[in-house]
Amino acid sequence: MSYAAPLKDMLFVMNELADLAAVNALPGCEEATPETVQAVLEEHARFCSEIIAPLNQTGDREPGGWHDGAVTTAMGFKEAFKAFGAAGWQGIQHPAEIGGQNLPKLVAAACMEMLNSANLSFALCPLLTDAAIEALTIAGSDAQKQAYLANLVSGQWTGTMNLTEPQAGSDLAMIRTRAVPQEDGTYRIFGTKIFITYGDHDMADNIVHMVLARTPGAPEGVKGMSLFVVPKFLVNPDGSPGARNDVQCVALEHKLGIRASPTVVLQFGDYGGAVGTLMGEENRGLEYMFIMMNAARFGVGLQGIGVAERAYQKAVSYAKERVQSRDLQGSAGPVPIIHQPDVRRMLMAMRAQIEAARALAYVTAAAFDVAHHHPDLAVRKQNQAFYEFMVPIVKGWSTEMSVDVVSTGIQVHGGMGFIEETGAAQYYRDARILTIYEGTTAIQANDLVGRKTTRDGGETAKAILAQVRRTESELAASDSPDLAAIHARLSAASRAMEEAVDFITLHIQSDIKAVFAGSVPYLKLCGIVLGGWQMARAALTAEKRLKDSLGDGGGDAAFHQAKMATARFYGDHILPQACALRTAIVEGSSGVLALTEEQF
C-alpha cells in the first residue's frame, strides 16, 4: 500500500493533546464520541488509501488538459470525486441542516490530513469547496444558501476562490475586476483572474466561483472590494444548472507540481458580463474572503503535514528495503540503510517535525471547536484568540517544514530519489507551492506580527507562553532524563520566543522595518517553540502511560517509548534553532536592510 494513515498517531494527538473528550462534551458536538470518531477515521483512511492514493502518481504523469476551452482532469479523478461526495466526505465538518456530518473541525482536520497525504492535487478541490461553503454559511443570503449550499456539501458542485489578478497577487488592493449593478439586483462581472485552482474541470456539474471585485465608485484599495458568487452555470429556479455564464477558462498553467489540479486563467465578461450576486454587503468583500482564507490557510497547513507524512512513509519503506553497506558496529554483510546513523537522523527529523506540526494543527482545530461551541463567552474568546494566532503558524510553519521534509525524503532515496518513477520527486515538486499559495510565508508572518501579536500588545502571545511555562513546570517535576533534557531545551526556546515577542511589540511603532525584517524568522520561531511544546506534552503523556503500564508489559510500550524518543530528538535537534532565530529577529535587522536597491 502506498499510503497507510497513521491512525494511532492521529488518535493519540486527538485524545491526549487536543482533548477530543472535551470537544465531544461541547453543545452541538455530542455526535463526536470516541467510537464514532475512530470509525470515521478508519473509514476515511480506507477510502484515501484505496481510492485516492493510487491516483496520485498517475495524475502527475498524465494530468489531463485544456481543449476547446474546457479542462478535463486526470484519469479517475471524476469517478473518485463522485465517490467522495457520495460517501459524504465533503460534508464532514458542515452542519447537518445543509446535509453535512456535523463533526468537529478536529475530526475534519485528521480527515483532511489523510486526503492530502493520499493526493495533494485531488484534495485541493474539496479544500476550496469547504472554504466556499464556510463563506456562504456565514455571509450568504438565504437565496444564495438555498441555491448553492446543498449541492456544494453533497459534492455535486465545487467551489473556487478568485482573488489573484496579474497585477494583484500578495497585494489585493490592486484588484481591478469590476462588478456593475443591474436593475434586477444582480451584477455583471468583468475582469481576469489568474492562478485559479480548479477554476475549470469536469468533476462536477457546476462550479461556484467566489470572486473579489469592485463596484463603481467603491473606495480605493482593500476597503472597496466586494465579494460575488459567480456560477459557471446559472442556477435554474428548480435548482438545476442552467445557461452557461460568461466566465471562460482561457489558459491552463504548466506547473512544477500538483500537476493534476488544474490551475487556470479565468476571463469574466468577454460576452456582455458574467452574472453574479453580491455576498453580504458591498465593500466588505475582504472581510468575507478572510473567512474563507482562514479556513483555506488552515487547510493548506494540513496539506503540508499530509505531503510530509507521505514522503516520510515512502522514505521509511525505502530505508528498510535498500541494502547497502555494513552496520557501523556489525561484522556481518550489508544491511538495510536504516541501520546507518545518518539515515536514522534524517528519518527522525522528518518524523519529529511532522508529529509536532500535526499536534499543533489538531490542537488549533480543537480551539476552533471550543471557540464556536463553548457556552462560556470568555472561553470562546480565549480560544478564538488562540486559533487566530495559530492559523498563520499552522499555515506558514507546517508548509515550510514540509518543503524541508520532502527534500529530506529524496535524500534518503539517494540517486533513486532523483528518478521520477520512484515517486519521491513528486512530493518535492508538489509541496513547493504550499509556502506560496493562500498567502506566502511572508504574508502569514505579516499577519502573525501585525494582527496577531502586536494589535493586542503581545497579550495572546504571552498567554500562550504562560501555557508553555506550565508544561515546563510539569517537565521539571519529573525524574526522567529524557524529560529533563526536553525541559532544558524547551525553556531556552520559550525564552527566545518571549524575547522576540518583546522586541516586536516594543519596536513595531518606532522601527517597523526592523520588526518586519524578522517576521518570517519570528513565524518559524513560534512554530518551532509551540511545536516543541506539543512534543513535550506528548512526552509527558508517554511517560505517564509507560509508568502506568509497568509490569503488565502493556502492548503500547513501544509506541510510547517512540513518542518519548521522538520528542527527545525534537528537543535536541529542532528546538535549539530557536535561539539562532531569536538572534536573527532581535539583532539581525541591520544586515537585512543595509543595501540600496542598486547594490543588489
Q: What angle do CA 11, 13, 19 make, to 5 degrees?
A: 95
Residues between 146 and 165 with contacts to a copy of itself, criterion CB under 8 A = 164
162 sits in which H/E element: strand 157-162
In the list 19, 31, 202, 253, the residue contacting a copy of itself (rule: CB under 8 A) is: 253
Q: What is the DSSP pairing of strand 178-181 with strand 187-197?
A: antiparallel
Question: Which CB atom, from 270 or from 321, has the smaller least distance to a copy of itself?
Answer: 321
Q: In the complex, what is the shortest distance from the CB of residue 368 to a copy of itself, in angstroms, rounded to a whole number?
A: 27
Residues between 63 and 102 with contacts to a copy of itself, criterion CB under 8 A = none
Question: Rounded to whole angstroms, how far apart are CA atoms 468 and 453?
Answer: 17
Residues between 364 and 423 with contacts to a copy of itself, criterion CB under 8 A = 403, 407, 410-411, 414-415, 417-421
Q: Of 314, 392, 381, 368, give the one whose Cα is nearest residue 346.
A: 314
Question: Total number of residues binding a copy of itself (CB under 8 A)?
Answer: 102
Amino acid at 175: I
CA distances from 491 to 118, 134, 180, 488 (A): 37, 39, 57, 5
Question: Rounded to whole angstroms, how far apart are CA atoms 536 and 239?
Answer: 52
Q: In the complex, what is the shortest distance from the CB of residue 483 to a copy of itself, in angstroms, rounded to a whole number?
A: 13
Contact 396, 527 (CB under 8 A): yes
- Catalytic residue numbers? 438
Question: Which CB atom, from 98 or from 584, has the smaller least distance to a copy of itself?
Answer: 584
Contact 321, 313 (CB under 8 A): no
Which part of the chain contacts a copy of itself (CB under 8 A), choosing from 81-89, 154-162, 230-238, 565-573? 565-573
Question: Rounded to whole angstroms, how far apart are CA atoms 588 and 600?
Answer: 19
Check binding of 519 to a copy of itself (CB under 8 A): yes
Residues between 451 and 510 with contacts to a copy of itself, criterion CB under 8 A = 482, 485
In the list 154, 340, 478, 491, the residue contacting a copy of itself (rule: CB under 8 A) is: 340
Question: Rounded to whole angstroms, how far apart are CA atoms 134 and 47?
Answer: 24
Question: Which CB atom, from 340 or from 491, has the smaller least distance to a copy of itself?
Answer: 340
Q: In the complex, what is the shortest distance from the CB of residue 340 to a copy of itself, in angstroms, rounded to a whole number?
A: 7
Residues between 568 and 597 with contacts to a copy of itself, criterion CB under 8 A = 568-573, 576-577, 579-580, 583-584, 587-597
**What phi and psi values does residue 189 have, to the nearest 5 degrees?**
-105, 135
Q: In the complex, what is the shortest distance from the CB of residue 41 to a copy of itself, in angstroms, rounded to a whole number?
A: 22
Amino acid at 158: T
Question: Which CB atom, from 228 or from 437, has the smaller least distance to a copy of itself?
Answer: 437
What string of H, E and C letters represents the secondary structure of 325-374? CCCCCCCCCCCEHHHCHHHHHHHHHHHHHHHHHHHHHHHHHHHHHHHHHC
CA distances from 263 to 81, 258, 584 (A): 17, 9, 36
Q: What is the DSSP pairing of strand 206-213 with strand 157-162?
A: parallel
Q: How many CB atoms lie within 10 A of CB 17?
A: 21
Question: Which CB atom, from 168 or from 218, has the smaller least distance to a copy of itself?
Answer: 168
Check binding of 124 to a copy of itself (CB under 8 A): no
Question: Which CB atom, from 468 or from 581, has the smaller least distance to a copy of itself?
Answer: 581
Contact 55, 76 (CB under 8 A): yes
Q: Of 126, 41, 114, 113, give the one whose Cα is nearest residue 83.
A: 126
Q: In the complex, what is the shortest distance from the CB of residue 588 to a copy of itself, in angstroms, rounded to a whole number?
A: 4
Q: In the complex, what is the shortest distance from the CB of residue 183 to a copy of itself, in angstroms, rounded to a whole number?
A: 35
User: Which residues are bridge partners to 265 per DSSP?
Assistant: 251
Contact 569, 516 (CB under 8 A): no
In the list 316, 456, 491, 507, the residue contacting a copy of itself (rule: CB under 8 A) is: 316
Cell numbers 536573527 correspond to: 584
Q: In the complex, what is the shortest distance from the CB of residue 594 to a copy of itself, in angstroms, rounded to a whole number?
A: 4
In the list 477, 512, 544, 548, the residue contacting a copy of itself (rule: CB under 8 A) is: 512
Q: What are the grid coordinates assigned to 393, written together?
A: 503558524
Check binding of 343 to a copy of itself (CB under 8 A): yes
Residues between 539 and 558 with contacts to a copy of itself, criterion CB under 8 A = 558
Check binding of 167 to a copy of itself (CB under 8 A): yes
Residues between 427 and 446 with contacts to a copy of itself, criterion CB under 8 A = 428-429, 432-433, 435-437, 440-442, 445-446
Check binding of 12 to a copy of itself (CB under 8 A): no
Residues between 171 and 190 with contacts to a copy of itself, criterion CB under 8 A = 171, 173-174
User: Which residues are bridge partners to 276 per DSSP?
Assistant: 187
Check binding of 351 to a copy of itself (CB under 8 A): yes
Which part of the chain contacts a copy of itself (CB under 8 A), choosing from 234-242, 281-289, 383-391, 426-434? 426-434
Which part of the chain contacts a copy of itself (CB under 8 A), choosing from 153-161, 285-293, 301-309, 337-345? 337-345
Question: Rounded to whole angstroms, how far apart are CA atoms 65 and 235?
Answer: 27
Which part of the chain contacts a copy of itself (CB under 8 A), choosing from 180-188, 232-240, 251-259, 375-383? 251-259
Question: Which CB atom, from 1 or from 377, has the smaller least distance to a copy of itself?
Answer: 1
Question: How would you classify residue 196: left for phi > 0, otherwise alpha for psi between -120 and 50, otherwise beta?
Answer: beta
In the list 381, 455, 470, 513, the residue contacting a copy of itself (rule: CB under 8 A) is: 513
Question: Most distant CA pair in the chain: distance in Å?
Answer: 86
Question: Which CB atom, from 11 or from 26, has the smaller least distance to a copy of itself?
Answer: 11
296 sits in which H/E element: helix 285-321
| Cα radius of gyration rounded to whole Å, the chain | 24
Residues between 189 and 208 with contacts to a copy of itself, criterion CB under 8 A = 195
Q: In the complex, what is the shortest distance from the CB of residue 234 to a copy of itself, in angstroms, rounded to a whole number?
A: 30
Question: Which CB atom, from 295 or from 410, has the smaller least distance to a copy of itself?
Answer: 410
Question: Which CB atom, from 91 or from 396, has the smaller least distance to a copy of itself?
Answer: 396
Q: In the complex, what is the shortest distance from the CB of residue 434 to a copy of itself, in angstroms, rounded to a whole number?
A: 10
Q: In the complex, what is the shortest distance from the CB of residue 197 to a copy of itself, in angstroms, rounded to a whole number?
A: 11
462 sits in which H/E element: helix 459-476
Question: Rounded to whole angstroms, how far apart are CA atoms 123 and 77?
Answer: 11
Site track 33-52 with a copy of itself (rule: CB under 8 A), x = hit: --------------------
415 exposure class (CB count in 10 Å sphere: 0-12, 13-18, 19+): exposed
Check binding of 57 to a copy of itself (CB under 8 A): no
